[in-house]
Structure 1
Amino acid sequence: MLPKVSVVIPFYNCPFVDQAIQSVLNQTYANIEIVVVDDGSTLHLDKIAPYRDRICYLGKANGGTASALNHGIGSATGEYVAWLSSDDLFHPDKIARQLSFMLARDAWVSFTNYDLIDENSMTTASFAGPCFSSVWDFYEAFFTSVPVHGCTVMARKEMFLHMGYFNEGLLYTQDYEMWMRVVLNNFDFYYLHDSLTLFRWHGANGTIRHQSRMAEEVQYIRAKFNPLLEGWLARLKSGQ
């Protein structure tokens, strides 16, 4: 049997959560577990109700995306884990194509490109993520940007036993910090040049509403990790 993939969907008062769940149920890959983590929501719980018999529903006190992801990953029973924000969508063959790509390469972690959609699920941009001419360009992008969109990532659950989980002190940039640690712990971060996730850009998007706090967190992450990344890259390039 092909390995089970657990898809963790953190949920907090999001009106699009039913669409996110349905996009996972629509996957062409069959062996999937859907873990919805209700992070203390008070709104839109009715949108989850019709799916309760087809998902693993976990409730918790509000603690932010990182805490919800950690709770979901810790409870996941799949060999592989993917993350889907409650306002985003997966293409129907996202899991099948990405898992096949990883199995062929014995990869522990991978990411893909993505499309942008609006609040009405209309595509506004295709292949909206950055592309890199070499692996060095990818690594160096971490100094100045966030080159990996979290909802495009799939990883072996075992990776988190080596890496640790998401930093719950970071409310908006927990994924950036995690991918920094993945790279610095010498996990090959494989890239599949397919656009398999639909990232919803809308007025209530956290990236829009919390830019100042995000900037503070990014500054903290770069101050902590950029010197380590610079040394790691220098050693890698010198063949040490």
Structure 2
Amino acid sequence: MYPRVSIIIPFYNCPYIEQSIVSALGQTYPNVEIIVVDDGSTVHTDKIAPFLTRVHYLGKANGGTASALNHGIRMASGDYIAWLSSDDMFYPDKIERQLNFMLAHHSVISYTAFDEIDAYNNVTNRSVGARFASQVDFIRSLISHDPINGCTVMMKTELLSYIGLFNESLPFTHDYDLWLRAVLGRVYVHFLDQSLTMYRWHSDMGTRKHWPAIEREIAYIQGIYRAQLQDYIQQLGG
């Protein structure tokens, strides 16, 4: 029996949603469910209509990406969760390759490299991703920055029962916060050095529009976890 993978696509007024859904539907892996969570969108919802018989479409009041992800996760039936932003795309073998990697390594959470694309789907940068010599080096990096692209992550659903869901009070760093809680929960985070996601840079993306607020939130998160991470690194002999 193939484990089921739930692909959660949070959607808020994004013109690229159709491409995101098509990439999820085009996966080579046979046991995938796709959950599109409409976080109170007012435009571009018509782009979802052609896919309503092939995806689970959930509507909710606007509450931010973390709340949309959590809503999708609560409704998911999969053994594994993958997050796909509505302006990004998965390569066709993303789920198959990453799941096989995780099964082979008995992994509960993993992330991968990715390719960067522009507004017109041109690849502008290939095989992006921080590489670390050891898990200690990876954990040390978390003190100063988030090295993980959230849309490259796949995790076992049961992990979220252990460390909790995304923190909905964090508009921008809910993913960083989750990785930190996983690491401090003594969970090994695996890295697959293959580009399986297309990450889109465009003028309306949140990273560009909200960067000053994101920087403030990053500093806040680092202040909460820095001492715990440093203690853990010492315990690991780093």
The answer to whether residue 197 in structure 2 is matched with residue 197 in structure 1 is: yes
Cα deviations across residues 139-167 of structure 1 (Å, max 9, x unaligned)? 11101111111000000000000010001
Give distance in 1, aligned partners of 2:219 and 2:23. Answer: 34
Deviations 1:34-57 (A, max 9, x none): 000000000000100000000011
Question: In structure 2, what is the equivalent of residue 105 of structure 1?
Answer: 105
Counterpart for residue 5 of structure 1: 5
Shift of 1:131: 1.4
Using the alignment, how far apart are the partners of 1:236 and 1:137 within structure 2? 11
Normalised to the residue count of structure 1, the TM-score between the two structures is 0.98
Task: Give me the whole-angstrom Cα distance separating, in 1, the residues matched to 2:133 and 2:101.
Answer: 20
Partners in 2 of 1:94 and 1:106 — Cα distance? 18
Paired with 2:28 and 2:200, the residues of 1 have a C-alpha distance of: 22
Residue range with higher mean Cα deviation, 128-137 or 18-27: 128-137
Question: What's 1:94 paired with?
Answer: 94
Q: Structure 1 stretch 9-18 or stretch 102-111: which is displaced more?
A: 102-111
What is the CA-CA distance between 1:134 and the residue it aligns to?
Answer: 2.3
Moved more, 124-133 or 39-48: 124-133
Q: Secondary structure at the match of 1:116?
A: strand
Aligned to 1:31: 31
Does structure 1 conserve the Cα–Cα contact (< 8 Å) formed by 2:136 and 2:236? no
Specify the alignment match of 1:175 in structure 2. Answer: 175
Aligned equivalents of 1:106 and 1:76: distance in 2?
22
In structure 1, the partner of 2:74 is 74
Three-state SS of the structure 1 residue aligned to 2:77 is: coil
Amino acid at match of 2:95: I
Matched, 1:233 2:221: no
Partner residue, 1:14? 14
Task: Give the structure 2 partner of residue 214 of structure 1.
Answer: 214
When structure 1 is superposed on structure 2, of 132-141 and 196-205 the one drifting more is 132-141
Q: Runs (4+) of structure 1 moved beyond 6 Å?
A: none
Q: Which residue of 2 aligns with 1:165?
A: 165
Match of 1:131 in 2: 131
Provide the rounded CA distance (Å) in 2 between the counterparts of 1:237 and 1:68.
Answer: 39
Q: Per-residue deviation at 1:233?
A: 1.0
TM-score by length of 2: 0.98
CA–CA distance in structure 1, aligned partners of residues 166 and 36 of structure 2: 17
The amino acid of 1:105's aligned partner reads H
In the alignment, what sits opposite 1:58?
A: 58
Greater CA drift, 52-61 or 136-145: 136-145
Distance 1:10 1:99 in 2: 21
Number of aligned positions between the proteins: 238
- 1:2-50 Cα shifts (integer Å, max 9, x gaps): 1000000000000000100000111100100000000000000010000
Q: Distance in 1 between matches of 2:72 and 2:186?
A: 25
Q: CA deviation at 1:187?
A: 0.8
Structure 2 residue identity aligned to 1:174:
H
2:235 & 2:143 partners in 1: Cα distance?
A: 16
Measured after TM superposition, the shift of residue 191 of structure 1 is: 0.6
Structure 1 segments unaligned to the other structure (5+ residues)? none
What RMSD, in angstroms, separates the aligned Cα atoms of the two structures? 0.8
Q: Distance in 2 between matches of 1:11 and 1:128?
A: 24
Partner residue, 2:154:
154
- SS of equivalent residue, structure 2 residue 99: helix
AA partner of residue 34 (structure 2): I
- Per-residue displacement from partner, 1:101-143 (whole Å, max 9, x unpaired)? 0111111111100010000011000012211222222111101
Q: List per-residue Cα deviations over 1:50-85 (Å, max 9, x = no partner).
A: 000000110000000000000001110000000000
